[in-house]
Amino acid sequence: MQPQITSSSNERIKHARRVKEGRDPELIFLEGLRLAEEAVRSGLIVDAAFVASGREDARLHALLQSLTGRPVFWTQPEVLEGLSATIQCQGLVLIARRPQFDLSRFFEKKEGLYLALDRLQDPGNMGTLLRTAEAAGASGVIALSGCVDLFSPKVLRSAMGSAFRLPVLTAVAAADLPSLCESHGLHLAAAAGGGTCEYTAHDWCQPSVLLLGNEGNGVSSALLGKCHSRLSIPMAHGVESLNVAAAGAVMLFEAARQRRLRALA
């Protein structure tokens, strides 16, 4: 076993803190055994692992065995607690390379279903939508400029591995989305209060982009005016709106249902 890291002033701990704060654009901060297992299973390149001294179990041992050749640093528990991004320190942190996707193939699926997000701010919503999009069979996610970082620690915890596997485009200018859809033959449909078409009446079997907007303000008016469709979800009297992650789940799984039925026809 290597000597323990005993100080929060250790240079490796300070670098890990910079990664956690998003100050190293090439690396991501992963905390906890389950998320670490998902990262390794998804083929992420791990730069370093930090493990709280005294922690031993079969799953952790198997994970560390899979990191053969990568640096593993045993760390006093209080040092890792100071580094932790969670209320309850989980005793394990990985520093890994940010996932890289072949963006030249992002729109290669002829009948693709994509999720686009306009200025989404809440990490929990973002992570939930990534996980939901993967579960519904979406081809990829387009995060427009102004969205929360898809690879921040809170988003990664909510996405539970989906952020490692689902192709994503980030920092796309909102003004470029309509032309991007047009050039790839994609129907741009926005979830909007007062939408003129119920989401179940929309033809989700066509190549589509579902556009969801900011938690408080929805899709920007400039972008909304360039969408092909505005979709609504019927709700009981007195309910004004759904949480954006809930609305996204409803629509994505309706799209999955329609596509599944077409495949069976």
pLDDT digits (tens, 9 = 90+) for 115-130: 999 999 999 999 999 9
- Tell me the helix, strand and coil percentages in the chain, rounded to 5: 35, 20, 40
Q: In this structure, are residues 80 and 52 in contact, taking their beta carbons and an 8 Å threshold? A: yes
Q: In this structure, are residues 151 and 122 in contact, taking their beta carbons and an 8 Å threshold? A: no
Q: In what order do the strands lie in the sheet with 208-212?
A: 168-172, 140-144, 113-117, 208-212, 187-191, 229-232, 197-198
Bridge partner list, 27: 97
Residue pLDDT, tens place only, 169-206: 999 999 999 999 999 999 999 999 888 899 999 999 99
Q: What are phi and psi of 49, to 5 degrees?
A: -125, 140
Domains and CATH numbers, the chain: 11-97 (3.30.1330.30), 103-264 (3.40.1280.10)
Ramachandran region, residue 58 (left: φ > 0; alpha: ψ -120 to 50; beta: rest): alpha
Task: Please determine, for residue 1, whether its predicted confidence score (pLDDT) is greater than 80.
Answer: no
Mean pLDDT of 132-158: 97
Q: Predicted confidence band at 68 (pLDDT cuts at 50, 70, 90)?
A: confident
pLDDT given at position 54 = 85
Burial of residue 237 (CB within 10 Å: 0-12, 13-18, 19+) is exposed
Which of residues 231 and 104 earns the better pLDDT score? 231
Which pTM does this prediction carry?
A: 0.92
**CA–CA separation, 151 vs 244, rounded Å?**
19
Residue pLDDT, tens place only, 2-59: 668 999 999 999 999 999 999 999 999 999 999 999 999 999 999 999 999 988 789 9
Q: In this structure, are residues 210 and 219 in contact, taking their beta carbons and an 8 Å threshold? A: no
